[in-house]
Structure 1
Amino acid sequence: MATKPLTVSRVPTIYSLAQLEETATFPPPSPFPPPSPFPSPPKGVISTPDRAVAELAGSLLPAFHYTDVDALDGGRVRSFGSFDSLTAALGPAGGEEATGASPPSSEAASDEDAAMTEPMVVPQRSVLSMLLLAEWEDRAERGLFRYDVTACPTRVLPGHLGFVAQCNEGRASKKRPTEFRVDQVTQAFDPAKFNFTKAAQKEYGHVLLVPDALSRRAQAVDTASLLLALQFAREADTPYLRLGFNSLGAYGTINHLHFQAYFLYAPLAAERAPAAELLRAGGALAGVSVASLEGYPVAGLVFQAGGSLADLARCVGAACEALAAAGVPHNLLIADCGVRVFLFPNAFAERKARGEIPEDVVESQVDPACWEIAGHIVMKRQQDYDTASQESAWHLLSCASYDPANFARVTEISINAAKEAMRGRKLATAFRY
């Protein structure tokens, strides 16, 4: 099959593997570079690391192109079972060291375990995954991080859920302070407070997906922004990359629409937890199924795509918009290359304001947001990390969970909103003809 050559022009361009698979006849390369389709920026408006993101308008920026085909391969639907080779190499959850930098080696298993399991195969990285990891390493080498996450001790806690505990004592003292009210889910964007247009372009302390940095949208999910996040996860093409979202009131600390993402080479506890089906794919939500987590400290819904990321985005996006309108703080976890989305209503801040959180949990200074609720808990004190267990993790996270009656209300709001969104989709399709 012919392979499309990569060329460098005035605008650095990164191509996805999907483009390399296109069949076409290509002319011989020209000795002269092709003219750039992008106009030259105004004088003095060139993207530079020390300038603020607000100065990006008119700059020459790298572009990442990806396939926009929405249909999913039926075999792509994954669950926590896709980590079988990893967990076999590690052994049962309990006491193992975990890392966010590189996959654990199967050599860590004993000779007896190795004889009983097949060698772990590390999947090849996609272009996007390699780009993210390379950019991360570049920022780390330049000393731009506020703390070195690779130096933070990390381990998988004993127990069937396999919570990942990490100790980062600088997390509380070096984190950028929150500049808005924490008890309201919907708040207007305030350009006077910190937002991503004020961040220096060199900043990369977290992998942030900002759907439109210059539009200055408040921190609230809709269908379009969620679809972009799902496509990002799909293009990364690895179950080790997850995306998360924290609404205001659920420990979103910057009121500017963004998702967080990072690599963790271990299953998250929420991915291990069983779920009871509420709506089967093929009904009111077309190819999207909905389930409720069982045997987990935080009540949550699991939306899973069957054949369309767009339909998944419609359902979850509509649910989030309805919850925001109802004043329900919530967190999202996007897993399995964008195929599954976990939705957690979060009651922790409200309970904390009412003085209902146990004193030992308050003293830990851990406020559960999307990553903690999903199962990666960052401890801010050494003693909490040293004594961490599945029981203590459960005790902490259960403080964020809605009680059964209120969770039933959240479930009804979410599913009704999703159904309404899918009815609108079918109506729009009918009108198209």
Structure 2
Amino acid sequence: MIKAEVKSFQRGLRITSNMADMDSFVLQYSSDDFVPQTTRWGDHAGKKSKFDRELTSRWDNCMENGVFRYNMQQLDTRVIPGDKAYVAQLNSLRATERRKPQTIMSVSQPFNPDLFNFTKVHTKEILFGLQNTDESTTSGATMNGTTDSAQEPERHIIIINVSPLEYGHVLIVPQVNRCYPQVLTETAVKVGLESMLLSSHRGFRIGFNSLCAYASVNHLHMHAYYLEQQLLVEHCDVEPLGPNVHELTVMPCHGFAFQLHGTTVKQIARLIHNITMYFHDNDIAHNLFITRGTVFGEPQSSTNRTIRMYLWPRKKFIGTKVPDEFNVAVVELAGHLPIKDDSSFQSLTEETADHIIADASLPLEEYNQIKTTVVKMAKQLDTKTQ
């Protein structure tokens, strides 16, 4: 399947001039550019990193030149009273102006080169490419982790989301020339973690929606944006389950929690990839959220910060009725609620938000079976790396 997808992309190269300019600007970086710590909320924000400067300046230029589907003004924002401190934002234009989602019937639905994908975006939507100079530029890692040395050098690009949900909303498109479906590869998880490390902004967020979990385009990509509000998942308690894996239970939809502290990008990317491939193979819809936050077990006021990752197995969404207030995709599971209309924005309570989000949860028996498997996988991988 992978080879067929690569051939589809190569045919597109001959007819799509957009792709020729994808590498017009490549942001090269190494581990020396990583920002291991960010400031706490309430402290001075600090300087923008090179990654943040390039992303925001180019994003602003696209906004000024009308590249987006609508003008992104400062969004009305309210923190909903309650223990979870949900961050609600009124964004009615995204609900009405965004591209119609593709029809998705399965978590493992193949890539279709005839449908819209990110090789077809206009060159003015491409902000820059990403290249880690610590590594070979000819890596050919495939979805299952094997290597195909015959493949061309990989390209990772940052493009604008033409229907933004917040300031700086972009799509990270790893391995764009592979034309993978919306299935996380180990490389994709790694690119997401490295992008987070390149940002010095404490409110930079990255999210992934699998197919049947509100992904609207079946081409591998992650969302990233800036949010000037703290979320509960940045500092909440989590319960240890096994090596490098914890459980998130304070939110209405339970899931798995990971942190970079005490491990490496490579190790945690491999663990998350192995789990999501298990989800993929068993048709389990899922969402992944990456954010800055405190080290597990430390208080909200701690200056010892790390990268937190949350992975939710959840009910499949296949054309069922959606709530009037908000959809339950990755940012909503993390406590950021883009609201569709003013009435819902003004009246939404924590109780209502809890109810909507909880409806995405799997039945307890099914979730517990998944949890048992995830813990077993974490133990097996930990044994192999020792």
Q: TM class, shorter-chain normalised?
A: 0.7 to 0.9
* 1:267 alignment counterpart: 230
> How do 1:74-93 residues align onto structure 2 when only pairs under 5 Å count?
76=36, 83=40, 85-86=41-42
* 1:154 alignment counterpart: 77
- State the one-letter code of the partner of 1:231: E
* 2:282 alignment counterpart: 326
Identify which of 260, 263, 273 aligns with 1:307. Answer: 263
> How do 1:2-401 residues align onto structure 2 when only pairs under 5 Å count?
55-57=18-20, 61-68=24-31, 76=36, 83=40, 85-86=41-42, 120-181=43-104, 183-203=105-125, 204=160, 205=162, 206-279=169-242, 285=243, 289-305=244-260, 306-336=262-292, 339-347=307-315, 349=317, 353=320, 362-364=322-324, 366-401=326-361
Does the Cα contact within 8 Å between 1:246 and 1:330 map onto a contact in 2? yes
- 1:348: how far off? 5.7
Does the Cα contact within 8 Å between 1:315 and 1:419 map onto a contact in 2? no
- 1:210: how far off? 0.5
Taking the aligned partners of 2:378 and 2:279, their CA distance within structure 1 comes to 11
Gaps of 5+ in 2: 1-12, 126-159, 163-168, 294-305
Taking the aligned partners of 1:348 and 1:366, their CA distance within structure 2 comes to 16
* 1:9 alignment counterpart: none
Q: Which has the higher helix share?
A: 1
CA RMSD of aligned residues (A): 2.6
- State the one-letter code of the partner of 1:395: H
Does the Cα contact within 8 Å between 2:88 and 2:337 map onto a contact in 1? yes
> How do 1:400-411 residues align onto structure 2 when only pairs under 5 Å count?
400-411=360-371
After superposition, what is the alpha-carbon deviation per residue over 1:53-98, rounded to whole angstroms, capped at 9, x for unaligned? Answer: x63247652122222479x99xx478xxx64x42xxxxxxxxxxxx
After superposition, what is the alpha-carbon deviation per residue over 1:110-161, rounded to whole angstroms, capped at 9, x for unaligned? Answer: xxxxxxxxxx312211110111111121111112222233343111111222
- 1:402: how far off? 2.2
- 1:236: how far off? 1.2
- 1:233: how far off? 0.7
Q: Which has the higher contact order (CA 8 A, sep 6+)?
A: 2
Task: Decide whether aligned partners of structure 1 residues 57 and 420 sit closer, same or farther in structure 2, where only a CA change above 3 A counts.
Answer: farther
Gaps of 5+ in 1: 1-44, 46-50, 87-119, 280-284, 427-433
Taking the aligned partners of 2:271 and 2:37, their CA distance within structure 1 comes to 17
Once the two structures are aligned, what percentage of the paired residues are identical? 28
Taking the aligned partners of 2:181 and 2:54, their CA distance within structure 1 comes to 28
Paired residue total = 319
